[in-house]
Amino acid sequence: MERPELVCPLCGNAEFQQEHGRLDSRWGVTSHRVTLMICTRCRYILHFYDKHSIFDFD
């Protein structure tokens, strides 16, 4: 299966800065791993939760 190209929905740029992080629930009971793809042109942030998406950035 061919991967679709990631494109910024605001400016159409295809270059991104990749960051990894964690989001905790309000009470700290749950924690979720996220990957943030930040557009290098307009700085729009795309959030990907726990690697469950059609984009695999590893």
From first to last of its 58 residues, the chain has per-residue pLDDT tens of 677 899 999 999 999 999 998 877 777 777 778 889 999 999 999 988 875 554 444 4
- Look at residue 16 in the predicted model and tell me its pLDDT: 97
Strands (E) in 10-54, as ranges, are 16-24, 31-39, 45-49
- Tokens for 48? 């990907």
Which residue in 18, 24, 25 sits closest to 51, CA to CA?
18
